């Protein structure tokens, strides 16, 4: 049975007795630093001297230091840099300042799971991973809520690592929503699988293939856009609120019959076999090795594929249609206002 923790399960004094360094001030970094600060935690933000985030963090009332200086001062270091940058920054500026009794925290297990970072013995290693973008982590906190999060421990030197992680999750607001205990391996592998197969990779490929099929058959691109992309939000909202059965209850019987009989022809045995291959590439480390090498080489394939995606007709058709539907982008504007851009 899964272990879920809420506010009453956390001991707020554990993280309150720590000096916390939040390294990075991006999507997650700004939310962690601000939420912890507002929860009365002693926080400093570790940034590069030339970082453009420095002024923003200071304007928000946070103390900013260099990465090494913040790591040296703190006894709990939350690393919120891009996953591809973490190992180099850790080696140069964090590892030299780790002492027995310190804790190193992550919001994603990638670097620990694939052995890119190996903290020394005597140091607690834990994860507090919100299941949502940083802007939501900040906004829900200010509204009195929280974002559900995963916690895990990969090294428990103090014997208190899990309790400390839960205390941190509490200061972040996550225990208001629910904190699920997991492992670095499970979080990392399911997160990569989810984004590759379902949430990002599978979904975007499905939408684009549907759009292309309709356009190639001579239908107006605008019709194809509405059908294959715009309406997706309505369906996903229903699934999010009521599950798949609830969504099916809300659509017409014709839509439901088509769903039940045609869906399995799209996601067939070949697709399922490919899903298992992708999971295997994640588990055996070959995806991680490929991505780290791509990043070190300056991301040639990544940039090429990204550019091709951006110049796909679905983008120009979509931009035109969305410009006539200001209500569609209104929510996004609000997030940007709250995060300060």
Residue 170 touches Mg ion, criterion: CB under 5 A: no
Give the helix, strand, coil percentages of the chain, each rounded to 5.
60, 10, 25
Stretch near Mg ion under the rule CB under 5 A, chosen from 70-78, 187-195, 290-298, 300-308:
187-195
**Residue 53 binds which entry of ligand NAD, Mg ion, none, CB below 5-8 Å type-dependent:** ligand NAD
- Tell me how far apart the alpha carbons of residues 21 and 274 are, in angstroms, rounded to a whole number: 41
Identify whether 135 is a catalytic site residue.
Answer: no
Cα atoms in the Cβ-side hemisphere of radius 13 Å centred on 71:
23
Cβ-contact 25, 45 below 8 angstroms: yes
Report, in Å, the least distance between residue 135 CB and ligand NAD: 9
Of 83 and 191, which CB lies nearer to Mg ion in the complex structure?
191
Catalytic residue among 108, 135, 230, 312: 108
Burial of 134 (0-12, 13-18, 19+ CB in 10 A): buried
Shortest Cβ contact with ligand NAD: which residue? 26
Burial of 146 (0-12, 13-18, 19+ CB in 10 A): buried
Residue 119: name the closest of 87, 146, 85, 81 by CA.
87
Stretch near Mg ion under the rule CB under 5 A, chosen from 170-178, 189-197, 233-241, 274-282:
189-197
Give Cα separations from 149 to 129, 193, 197 (angstroms).
5, 18, 21
What number of chain residues touch Mg ion (CB under 5 A)?
1
**Residue 82 binds which entry of ligand NAD, Mg ion, none, CB below 5-8 Å type-dependent:** ligand NAD
Of 29 and 173, which CB lies nearer to ligand NAD in the complex structure?
29
DSSP, res 60: T
Q: Other C-beta atoms within 10 Å of 152: how many?
A: 24
**Bridge-partner residues for 124, per DSSP?**
103
Report, in Å, the least distance between residue 149 CB and ligand NAD: 9
Report, in Å, the least distance between residue 268 CB and ligand NAD: 32
**Residue 133 binds which entry of Mg ion, ligand NAD, none, CB below 5-8 Å type-dependent:** ligand NAD
Quick one: which of 191, 228, 288, 318 contacts Mg ion (CB under 5 A)?
A: 191
Residues that bind ligand NAD (CB under 6 A): 24-29, 48, 51, 53, 67, 80-83, 85, 89, 107-108, 129-130, 133-134
Cβ-contact 101, 122 below 8 angstroms: yes
Of 118 and 250, which CB lies nearer to ligand NAD in the complex structure?
118
Report, in Å, the least distance between residue 87 CB and Mg ion: 20
* Catalytic positions: 108
Binding footprint of Mg ion on the chain (CB under 5 A) = 191
């Amino acid at each position: 049975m899964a272990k879920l923790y809420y506010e009453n399960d956390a001991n707020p004094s554990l993280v309150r007795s720590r000096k916390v360094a939040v390294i990075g001030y991006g999507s997650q970094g700004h939310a962690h630093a601000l939420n912890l600060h507002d929860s009365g935690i002693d926080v400093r933000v570790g940034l590069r001297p030339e970082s453009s985030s420095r002024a923003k963090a200071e304007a928000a009332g946070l103390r900013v230091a260099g990465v090494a200086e913040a790591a040296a001062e703190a006894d709990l270091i939350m690393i919120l840099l891009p996953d591809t940058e973490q190992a180099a920054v850790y080696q140069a500026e964090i590892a030299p300042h780790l002492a027995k009794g310190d804790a190193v925290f992550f919001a994603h297990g990638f670097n620990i799971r694939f052995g890119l970072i190996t903290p020394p013995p005597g140091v607690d290693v834990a994860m507090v991973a919100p299941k949502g973008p940083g802007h939501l982590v900040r906004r829900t906190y200010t509204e009195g809520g929280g974002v559900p999060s995963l916690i895990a421990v990969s090294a428990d030197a103090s014997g208190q690592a899990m309790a400390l992680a839960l205390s941190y999750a509490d200061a972040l607001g996550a225990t208001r929503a629910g904190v699920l205990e997991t492992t670095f391996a499970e979080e990392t592998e399911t997160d990569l699988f989810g984004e590759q197969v379902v949430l990002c990779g599978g979904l975007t490929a499905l939408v684009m293939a549907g759009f292309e099929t309709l356009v190639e058959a001579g239908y107006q691109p605008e019709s194809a856009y509405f059908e294959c992309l715009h309406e997706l939000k309505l369906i996903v909202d229903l699934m999010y609120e009521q599950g798949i059965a609830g969504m099916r209850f809300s659509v017409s019987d014709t839509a439901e019959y088509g769903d039940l009989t045609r869906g399995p022809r799209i996601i067939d045995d070949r697709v399922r076999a490919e899903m298992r291959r992708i999971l295997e590439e994640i588990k055996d480390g070959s995806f991680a090795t490929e991505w780290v090498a791509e990043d070190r080489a300056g991301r040639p394939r990544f940039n090429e594929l990204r550019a091709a995606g951006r110049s796909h007709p679905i983008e120009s058709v979509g931009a035109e249609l969305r410009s006539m539907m200001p209500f569609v982008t209104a929510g996004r504007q609000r997030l940007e206002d709250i995060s300060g851009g």
